[in-house]
Amino acid sequence: MNYPIPSSSQEVVALRQQPVDDELIAAAIAGVIYVARSQGQTLQDLTAEVMADDRLLDADLRRWLSDIVSQAWDQLA
């Protein structure tokens, strides 16, 4: 992977400076999971945040992303 897994919220936000590709997205998801765990959040907490209504993703995409986050959570355990 060309991007290290972010270990803080600031490092996740800093990824915005990079061109978007599959590896960047994977690093961002892994970083979000790492930060959530370090803050004592559960998978259920994180998926609830992903599923929260927003203007960026429709319901189908939020469900898809929630599934990806759940799979990554298990893989990074």
Which pLDDT score is estimated for 1?
A: 61
Q: What is the pTM of this model?
A: 0.86
Domain boundaries, the chain: 9-75
Q: Give the 3-state secondary structure of residue 2.
A: coil
Give the amino acid at 30. A
| Residues 1-47 pLDDT 10s | 677 889 999 999 999 998 999 999 999 999 999 999 999 999 999 99
Nearest-5° Cα angle at 38, 36 to 44: 35
Per-residue pLDDT, 3: 78
The 10s digit of each residue's pLDDT in 39-68 is 999 999 999 999 998 888 999 999 999 999
| Phi, psi for residue 48 in degrees, rounded to 5 | -65, -40
**Under a CB-based contact definition with an 8 Å cutoff, are residues 12 and 32 in contact?**
yes
